[in-house]
Amino acid sequence: MMVSSFVIYVLSVINICYAATLRDTEPTCGYESCPAVKDDMINVHLVPHTHDDVGWLKTVDQYYYGARNNIQNAGVQYVLDSVIPELLNDPSKRFIYVEIAFFARWWREQDDSMRHIVKGLVNSGRLEFILGGWCMNDEASTHYNAIIDQHALGFEFLRQNFGECGRPRIGWQIDPFGHSREQASLFAQFGFDGLFFGRLDFEDKEERMKELTMEMLWHGSPNNLGEKSDLFTGVLFNGYSPPGGFCFDIFCQDEPIKDNKQLHDYNVDDRVKDFIKAVESQAIHYKTNHIIMTMGSDFQYQDAHHWYKNMDKLIKYTNMLQETNHSNINVLYSTPSCYLNQLNKAGIKWPTKSDDFFPYAHRNHSFWTGYFTSRAALKGYVRETNAFLQACKQLDAIAMLDEYFNTTYEIQVLKEAMGVAQHHDAVSGTEKQQVAYDYAERLSHGRASCQRVMNDAFMQLMPKLRDGFPGVTWCDLMNISACNHTEINKKFVMVVYNPLGHTVTRWMRLPVVADAYTVNGPQNEPIQTQIIPVDDRTKSIPERKGHMALYTLVFPVSVPPLGFSTYFISKIPSYANKKKMAKEIPRKITNSKEDKIVMKNEHMSLEFNKKTGTLTKLRNLGNGVDLDIQQDIVFYYGHPGNCSESDFQPSGAYIFRPNNTTPHVWQRSFPGDTIKGPLVQEIYTVFSEWVTQVTRLYEGEKYAEIEWTVGPIPIDDKYGKEVVARFNTTLASNKIFYTDANGREVLMRERNYRPTWKLNQTEPVAGNYYPVNSRIYIQDKEKNVQFTVMTDRSEGGASIYDGQIELMLHRRLLYDDCLGVAEPLNETGSDGKGLIVRGKMLILMDTIDNSAKMHRDLGLKTYMAPIPSFAKTDYKYSEYSQYYHTTWSGLTAPLPPNVHLLTLEQWKGPAVTPSTSQPYLIRLEHIYEKDEDPELSKPVTVSIQDMFVRFEIESIEELTLGANLLLSDLHRLKWQTTNTEYVTDNERAYKVEKLVSLPQTIQIELSPMEIRTFQVTLKGGQPTSNIDKFTVFS
């Protein structure tokens, strides 16, 4: 396999220098390059490694250069500088490198001779890339689309620069704080052979050590994808640190090995004895005669010689005892993949696991469930920016922009910013404040960069007769009713882009200054509108300073798949304005005679208590099902403490620990203002000065929307607070609730229960929290009712009582939780008084059978919402429509409702056949699980040849999910388990179409939850670019 891949690579890569380098040294990487072991001994695989956080206490660039070492002495450039000579000097030495965000920074600074040397080390297996993502992503608050993208970004860097020897085979999630089953499934689909991680619940770990189940086969998608998502998974013994006493880094205080008997303090015998003790105490908890020791930690190996010199001696003197003392311990330099290979060769049966590793606690009262919500604004920004990146890549692809536009570079800026933001101290919210600002700034720069690409694309796609489309601008603060463009201009167009493969109808809410506007659609048809005054709460948000909008202009937009629609918006002149005013602004109704307020459309009805403005009843008018419900927003006081023991564990950036199991409820009540208009009804609920919400029911929608605004969280009482939205219903949910994993498959949760060990619950609230990336629901099987809450970002969620759902929205805390960040999670916002966060929840109530259809569809429309942009124009409609398309779709027809176009972008990729025209990457996904919906859960077939209006496909090849290998070349290791026979991969007959004689229709079949990845080239497409996107920075 190595040889054929090598040939393919040379054929497809244009960089002649690189090809020459590879010919010089025949690659011997991979399992073939692994060191020899001794079958009759305990083999100790020493894995020299460094764990380099892509931002945490310092920013990613501060870490790279070793700047601000007063915060943390860490400089990644020195790690790579110092490891390379050590590896060169001794062929037995090994090193793994993990985070490509750092490696790429270093690589771009190297000259040709250093690159040549490094390629040699990679080709001989001495330097091995493990994981290979842009970062080691968080698993609790990331979305699967961003996880796939950030890995594909790292993989592509490695593929372009190192070919097959640079292809990672092992997942290495040594530091993330809990592990998602979806992540395991994605890793398996990347073609990984195994996964190692460091953190799991301390009770789980104890049990596994006792039962020898630290290593297992994890079923990543037991109900849907089956074997192709199975992943061998190992729990590391020491987290990711060396055994106690054996840290040989310059920043460690452990004793070096002093082996000259002539000098003072000779300590070899003692040190070896201690080491053997460490080996034996680890080996008894693992099944084979191989163990892995992680020799490294955070930012270690800045002076690699310290480590290697002492490990050399450790290996020498320990192994010497094999001769002198009949010792059966054999120590060697190794890598995670070489260790895994030995486990595979052991030919034993492994236990299995089908749930996940959430939540994680390292001791009683210390559940790492706070970070599911920490930095809720950053979490929202990362999610929204994912959609922006997808739209940017799609527009670049459908407009077929070539290198003249420099779009490869522009898109790369946002790809890298998003890659960095997925790190386990980024979107997780566990970084210092200055680092959080840096992540947000990177995303903002990336978005600006992508806006240039999108404008270039619009300039290609818009004009009918001539170019000269004026370009559009975007508004990033629409969620707080702020947008310069819509505030300043009396007449403008709004171009809405829809990144989904389906026609989408959504509600627009534009910040405007006047109380009457006309809106016309793409065919000049008048669009019904509603004007709503901006409420005082919104006006008081400090980040809105300087914005003038007094009203929100509400109207529906409809946008074709992968396309745009244009809306023409004009302020009505003042004389007409006056006449219309009374009619256009609905009055706030607070004096209705009944003691309840009802909001109703054709599908649902909501009842509110008039005194408190809180929801009391939901009715599904389609099937007549009623649900008594109490919805409110309350808060827990964060537990204070000094961490000295578990009883004194405070709530912090990582940890959620309320000081009481009952949250604080406000006693005061405020009457709820309502707005009833032709398009939307709204009820404003005030829980306190700093906690408010608006519940909305739009015409024709089967869901209600709750927009919450929380903050500034007061801290004058010296208590941190954690704010949660609660839904108390009468459903008999019987301890069971359901949460999604990374926005995809749903896992069943049971209160105070773990599927694989007997839980001793010490935190009845925090210990029942799980990540909610997009949805949480409860069911009453007898009544056949499901109540679902969709979120617009990742949050922590739970069901603390039967029939109840709670979601943590925002948190502000005054104690550091002593897990390293050394800062309380105290976001202060632009005015220093406390950050205000605003977000949305969508609520659904239907029969169990009907619910998947609604939450799958809404999940897609929420995370890939249409993106509005604006342009000033003086043209009349007749002129504008003569020059420009007012609506356009990149697809010939909408995709079936259960199919999602997950990826569309220009992508060089690992094609077999050297391509003369620019290739594109396409991922198609079935968004339903098996048996979720009677119809939509069935397998579905789409024709890819007829899909895109501008594409005539010339060749198509199927790739692994990470897009770095032809699927037909994937051969994963096989494992035997205690409850099934051999697990095999590639059982499905993957269809890999070759270049010649493509049929007219290329049918792609998708099974439930399946994602298939294709690289296509187009007939008469533009020539392949010679520019390597990973060197454009240097």
Q: How far is the CB of 175 from Zn ion (least distance, A)?
A: 3
Apex CA 284: angle with CA 279 and CA 286, to 5°?
Answer: 100
Interatomic CA distance for residues 346 and 814, integer angstroms: 51
Piece in contact with Zn ion (CB under 5 A), picked from 173-181, 554-562, 598-606, 668-676: 173-181
Close Cβ partners of 346 (under 8 Å, ≥ 6 residues apart): 287, 288, 289, 290
Pick 42 or 80: Cβ nearer Zn ion: 80
- Helices 304-324 & 268-283 angle (0-180, nearest 10): 80
Closest CB to Zn ion among 135 and 377? Answer: 135
Six-digit token pair at 1019?
Answer: 């007939």
Q: For every residue of 46-103, which 3-state class applies, written as one string?
A: EEECCECCCCCCCCHHHHHHCCCCCCCCCCHHHHHHHHHHHHHHCCCCCEEECCHHHH
At closest approach, how far in Å is the CB of 254 from Zn ion?
21
Shortest spacing between CB 52 and Zn ion, in angstroms? 8
- Least Cβ distance, residue 574 to Zn ion (angstroms): 59
Q: CA 115, 117, 122: angle at the middle one, nearest 5?
A: 90
Which one of the spans 25-33, 51-59, 200-208, 442-450 is the region binding Zn ion (CB under 5 A)? Answer: 51-59
Stretch that binds Zn ion, among 40-48, 76-84, 167-175, 711-719 (CB under 5 A): 167-175
Tokens (6 digits) for 812: 């502000």
By C-beta, is 50 or 552 nearer to Zn ion?
Answer: 50
Cα 36 to Cα 345: distance, rounded to the nearest angstrom:
13
Who's near 716: CB < 8 A, 6+ residues apart? none
Place of tokens 């578990």: 646
By CB under 5 A, is residue 52 in contact with Zn ion? no
* Residue ranges in 843-872 that form contacts with Zn ion under rule CB under 5 A: none
CB burial of residue 954 (10 Å; 0-12, 13-18, 19+): middle
Cβ atoms within 10 Å, residue 806: 26
Q: Pick one of 52, 139, 175, 740: the residue that binds Zn ion (CB under 5 A).
A: 175
Give 175 or 745: the residue with its C-beta nearer to Zn ion: 175
User: How far is Cα 874 from Cα 665, in angstroms, rounded to an integer?
Assistant: 53
Q: Which stretch binds Zn ion (CB under 5 A): 160-168, 171-179, 252-260, 355-363?
A: 171-179
Which x/- pattern, by CB under 5 A, does the window 402-421 give for Zn ion?
A: --------------------
Beta carbon of residue 821, minimum distance to Zn ion (angstroms, whole number): 11
How many residues sit close enough to Zn ion to count as binding (CB under 5 A)? 2
How far, in Å, CA of 32 to CA of 464, rounded?
58
Q: CA-CA distance, 956 to 593, in Å (whole number)?
A: 67
888 and 461 in contact (C-beta within 8 Å)? yes
- The pair of three-digit structure tokens given for residue 457, joined into one six-digit string: 């694309």
Distance of alpha carbon 778 from alpha carbon 933, whole angstroms: 17
- Residue pair 641/714 in contact (Cβ under 8 Å)? The answer is no
**Could you tell me the smallest distance in angstroms from the CB atom of residue 820 to Zn ion?**
9
Q: Smallest distance from the beta carbon of 708 to Zn ion, in angstroms?
A: 31
- Closest alpha carbon to 101 in 420, 472, 474: 420
Q: Is 933 among the catalytic positions?
A: no
Stretch that binds Zn ion, among 172-180, 318-326, 438-446, 639-647 (CB under 5 A): 172-180
Map the footprint of Zn ion across residues 19-48, applying CB under 5 A. Answer: none
To the nearest whole angstrom, how small is the minimum distance from the Cβ of residue 130 to Zn ion?
A: 14
Distance CA 886, CA 881 (A): 6
Please say whether the beta carbons of 978 and 352 come within 8 A: yes
- Span interacting with Zn ion, options 53-61, 523-531, 967-975, 1014-1022, rule CB under 5 A: 53-61
Closer residue to Zn ion (CB): 164 or 175: 175
CB distance 330 to 38 below 8 Å: yes
Q: What are the two backbone dihedrals, phi and then psi, of residue 76, each rounded to the nearest 5 degrees? A: -65, -30
Closer Cβ to Zn ion, 425 or 707, answer by number: 425
Rounded to whole angstroms, how far apart are CA atoms 474 and 478?
Answer: 10
Contact region with Zn ion (CB under 5 A), list: 49-57, 445-453, 461-469, 825-833: 49-57
| Closer residue to Zn ion (CB): 53 or 456 | 53
**Residue entry with tokens 């202060």:** 828
Q: Give min distance, CB of 432 to Zn ion, in A.
A: 14
Q: How far apart are CB 283 and Zn ion at their closest, in Å?
A: 27
- DSSP secondary-structure letter at 516? -
Question: Phi first, then psi: what are they for 888, rounded to 5°?
Answer: -160, 145
- Amino acid identity for residue 358 in this structure: F
Nearer to Zn ion, 53 or 584 (CB): 53
Place of tokens 């008039």: 610
Distance CA 719, CA 732 (A): 35
Our CB check for Zn ion shows the closer of 56 and 358 to be: 56
State which residue has the least CB distance to Zn ion: 175
Q: Taking the complex as a whole, how short is the minimal distance between the CB of residue 136 and Zn ion, in angstroms?
A: 7
Provide the strand spans (E) within 433-521. Answer: 491-498, 504-512, 517-520
Q: 786, 1007, 878: which is closest to 226 by C-alpha?
A: 1007
Binding mask 594-613 for Zn ion (x = CB under 5 A): --------------------
Q: How far is the CB of 355 from Zn ion (least distance, A)?
A: 24
User: Within 317-376, which residues bind Zn ion (CB under 5 A)?
Assistant: none
Nearer to Zn ion by Cβ, of 107 and 172: the residue is 172
- Number of residues assigned to the chain: 1034
Nearest to 722 by CA among 646, 791, 798: 798
Nearest of 337, 353, 406, 388 to residue 132 by alpha carbon:
337
CA separation for the pair 737, 721 (Å, rounded): 25
Piece in contact with Zn ion (CB under 5 A), picked from 170-178, 258-266, 453-461, 489-497: 170-178
Nearer to Zn ion, 175 or 456 (CB): 175
Q: How far apart are CA 538 and CA 532, in angstroms?
A: 12
Q: Which of 175, 201, 792, 933 is catalytic?
A: 175
What are phi and psi for residue 714, nearest 5 degrees? Answer: -70, 145
Name which of 129 and 727 has its Cβ closer to Zn ion.
Answer: 129
Whole-number minimum distance, CB 51 to Zn ion, in Å? 6
Instruction: Give CA–CA dist 165/6, Å, rounded.
Output: 9
* Span of 52-60, 155-163, 281-289, 801-809 interacting with Zn ion by CB under 5 A: 52-60
Q: Based on CB atoms, which residue is closest to Zn ion, 175 or 957?
A: 175
d(Cα 820, Cα 400) in Å, to the nearest integer? 47
Q: Which of 33, 44, 53, 895 binds Zn ion (CB under 5 A)?
A: 53
Q: Which residues bind Zn ion (CB under 5 A)?
A: 53, 175
> Could you give the residue numbers annotated as active site?
175
